[in-house]
């Protein structure tokens, strides 16, 4: 029965016990290695050019397409009552609050560019002459927090039609007084709740929420809602944006 | 610690117990050839293990960006380096988790794996001795899930399903607003997602501890076969 008996060469598993336990150990090590490999991956942060980062970028572009397909232009974001409004509404930007730009209203001009037939700049008084509407919706930040606020102004679709924007184009881009920039897809720009905002949450006269012009897009994450907008342009080349170019998902729909 | 307790229980079992059950005669050559973990289960298991590690580690980094509770996770156990990196990992990993998970669920239903391994309890009834029954409750390595495994594995499947749907709610609270309504809104879904993650992490901790404590279980999750053990003089049936 045992391996020590040469006259009975019957193979028993017992004879291979040392080898088997070596294999077991190796498998165990292999697992340890794959866990180690996983922690090595934590170096992949979208900031380098290695293969994993390329894969993550490619997946993010794939997710843009999936989100565009999921987006239903008729689906409205939930609206809330005045009592639900978060006070004070949180300030958020890529800089601290004292760095927020203060714009003198009477000097302000909204510039237009790209695939727009009437590119004459707009002053606040003229924007006020367009039909005004307001909404109370939930602002969701990419960081995870949320706040409910009230925004008032001109339906963005109305504005785009008024300036003769090519609404068959793919993208609307925004440039801001704080050197921030972002861009959205045309279907989201034409969504009935997308708003060229002139009235902000909080106290009247506070500039930190984007005075004089913010674009409120309740179907997108907070960072896709530019403040202190100084230029709007329509294009077929994705303009990207401040955070998007660093690795945040471009579509970032809600 | 769980591992240590389990090791003692297993040692105790090997030394004292003699079970005349069809599945315990490990030296039986036919049994050693028998596949106890189907190939499909093994493949989806290891893909899922990778996906779960990606989702939990990147998720902890995302949580840290805006904690719900006065609690932050150490950066060493997170993935992605910064918020955008963690989100990219999370939203890439979700495809791996979901596609692999759906494949596993479809296989589990169609092949009868769920029925045989998770739901059906008849083989248990074969044991008359209540003491053996109790020991059997946590017995590992027989090629059959014990009752505790059945409960935990069934629970973890539902936890992952809960994670997927609460996650979809957070990802698209406007587009999937009936789902958001079901979970009580975005913020509520976020809390549910967090606690379901804790459940999954706890399961993983127990699962990995026991797998490491009971010799041969990890090996058989690769090979599909019972790990070969020399027959014990004290416990082997004559």
Helix (H, G, I), strand (E, B) or coil at B200: helix
* Residue at A241 is within a domain: yes
Q: Is some CB atom of chain B closer than 8 A to the CB atom of A61?
A: no
Q: Is some CB atom of chain A closer than 8 A to the CB atom of B234?
A: no
Domain carrying residue A127 = 51-246
Residues A31, A59, single domain; the answer is no
Residues A131, A171, single domain; the answer is yes
Question: What whole-number distance in Å separates Cα of residue A101 and Cα of residue B133?
Answer: 73
Residue whose entry in the numeric block shows the structure tokens 């990219």:
B88
Residues A56, A153, single domain; the answer is yes
The yes-or-no verdict on residue A36 having pLDDT over 70 is no
Do residue A253 and residue B50 have CB atoms under 8 angstroms apart?
Answer: no
* Residue at A251 is within a domain: no
* Residue at A169 is within a domain: yes
Q: What is the ipTM of this complex?
A: 0.81
Domains assigned to chain B: 2-223 (1.20.950.20)
Residues A3, A74, single domain; the answer is no
Do residue A56 and residue B88 have CB atoms under 8 angstroms apart?
Answer: yes
Residues A69, A38, single domain; the answer is no
Do residue A13 and residue B79 have CB atoms under 8 angstroms apart?
Answer: no
Chain A contact set for B187 (CB, 8 A): 146
pLDDT of residue A2: 41
Domain count within chain A: 2
pLDDT tens figures, B160-197: 999 999 999 999 999 999 999 999 999 999 999 999 99
User: Rounded to a whole number, what is the distance in Å from the CA of A226 to chain B's nearest CA?
Assistant: 18
Chain B contact set for A147 (CB, 8 A): none
Per-residue pLDDT of chain B (238 residues; tens, 9 = 90+): 666 666 655 565 555 444 434 444 444 556 667 888 999 999 999 999 999 999 999 999 999 999 999 999 999 999 999 999 999 999 999 999 999 999 999 999 999 999 888 887 655 555 544 555 566 566 676 677 877 888 899 999 999 999 999 999 999 999 999 999 999 999 999 999 999 999 999 999 999 999 998 888 898 899 998 877 655 544 444 3
Chain B contact set for A222 (CB, 8 A): none
Question: What whole-number distance in Å separates Cα of residue A75 and Cα of residue B179?
Answer: 14
Q: What is the torsional sign of CA B134, B140, B145, B150?
A: positive
* Residue at A19 is within a domain: yes
pLDDT of residue B69: 95
Question: What whole-number distance in Å separates Cα of residue B59 and Cα of residue B74?
Answer: 12
Residues paired with residue B51 on neighbouring β-strands, in sequence order? none
Residues A112, A8, single domain; the answer is no
Residues A134, A77, single domain; the answer is yes
The yes-or-no verdict on residue A82 having pLDDT over 90 is yes
Nearest CA among A179, A153, A178, A173 for reference residue A232: A173
Query: Which DSSP string do the residues of chain A spell out, in sequence order?
Result: --TT-TT-----GGGGHHHHHHHHHHHHHHHHHHHHHHHHHTT--SSS-SHHHHHHHHHHHHHHHHHHHH--TTPPPPB--GGG--SSPPP--SS-GGGS----GGG--BEEEESBS----B-HHHHHHSPEEEEEEEEE-TTS-EEEEEEEEEEHHHHHHHTTB-TTSSEEEEEETTS-EEEEEHHHHTSTT-EEEEE-SSSTT--TTTTT-EEE-TTB-GGGS-SSEEEEEEESS----TTGGGTS-SS-B-
Percent of chain A at pLDDT exceeding 90 = 72
* Residue at A76 is within a domain: yes
pLDDT of residue B144: 76
Give me the CATH number covering residue A218: 3.90.420.10
Of A119-133, A194-208, B87-101, the poorest mean pLDDT is in A194-208
């Amino acid at each position: 029965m045992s391996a020590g008996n040469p006259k009975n060469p019957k193979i028993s598993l017992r004879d291979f016990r040392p080898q088997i336990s070596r294999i077991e150990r190796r498998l165990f090590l292999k697992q340890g290695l794959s866990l180690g490999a996983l922690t090595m991956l934590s170096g992949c942060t979208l900031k380098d050019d290695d293969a994993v980062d390329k894969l993550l970028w490619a997946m993010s572009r794939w997710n843009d397409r999936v989100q565009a397909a999921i987006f239903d232009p008729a689906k409205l974001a939930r609206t809330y009552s005045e009592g639900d409004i978060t006070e004070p509404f949180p300030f958020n930007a890529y800089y601290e609050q004292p760095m927020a730009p203060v714009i003198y209203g009477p000097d302000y001009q909204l510039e237009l560019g790209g695939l727009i037939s009437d590119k004459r700049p707009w002053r606040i008084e003229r924007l006020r002459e367009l039909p005004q509407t307001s909404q109370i919706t939930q602002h969701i930040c990419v960081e995870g927090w949320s706040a409910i606020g009230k925004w008032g102004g001109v339906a963005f679709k109305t504005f785009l039609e008024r300036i003769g924007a090519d609404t068959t184009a793919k993208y609307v881009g925004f440039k801001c007084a704080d050197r921030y920039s972002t861009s959205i897809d045309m279907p989201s720009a034409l969504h009935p709740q997308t708003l060229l905002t002139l009235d902000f949450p909080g106290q009247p006269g506070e500039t930190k929420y984007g005075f004089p012009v913010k674009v409120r897009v309740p179907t997108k994450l907070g960072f896709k809602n530019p403040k202190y907008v100084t230029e709007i342009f329509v294009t077929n080349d994705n303009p990207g944006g401040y955070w998007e170019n660093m690795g945040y998902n471009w579509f970032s729909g809600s | 610690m769980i591992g240590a307790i389990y090791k003692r229980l297993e040692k105790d079992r090997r030394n004292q117990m003699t079970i005349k059950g069809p599945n315990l005669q490990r030296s039986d050559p036919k049994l050693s050839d028998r596949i106890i973990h189907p190939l499909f289960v093994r493949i989806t298991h290891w893909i899922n293990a990778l996906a779960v590690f990606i989702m939990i580690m990147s998720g902890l980094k995302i949580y840290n960006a805006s904690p719900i509770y006065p609690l932050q996770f150490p950066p060493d156990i997170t993935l992605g380096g910064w918020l955008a990196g963690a989100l990219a990992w999370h939203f890439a990993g979700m495809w791996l988790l979901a596609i692999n998970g759906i494949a596993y669920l479809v296989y589990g239903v169609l092949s009868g794996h769920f029925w045989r391994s998770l739901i059906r309890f008849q083989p248990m009834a074969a044991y008359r001795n209540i003491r053996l029954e109790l020991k059997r409750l946590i017995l590992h390595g027989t090629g059959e899930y014990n009752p505790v495994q059945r409960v935990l594995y069934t629970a973890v499947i539902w936890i992952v399903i809960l994670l997927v749907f609460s996650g979809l709610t957070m990802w698209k609270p406007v587009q999937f607003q009936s789902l958001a309504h079901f979970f009580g809104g975005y913020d509520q879904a976020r809390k549910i997602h967090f606690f379901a993650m804790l459940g999954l992490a706890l399961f993983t901790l127990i699962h990995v501890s026991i797998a490491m404590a009971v010799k041969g279980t990890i090996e058989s999750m690769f090979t599909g076969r019972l790990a070969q053990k020399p027959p014990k003089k004290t416990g082997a049936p004559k």
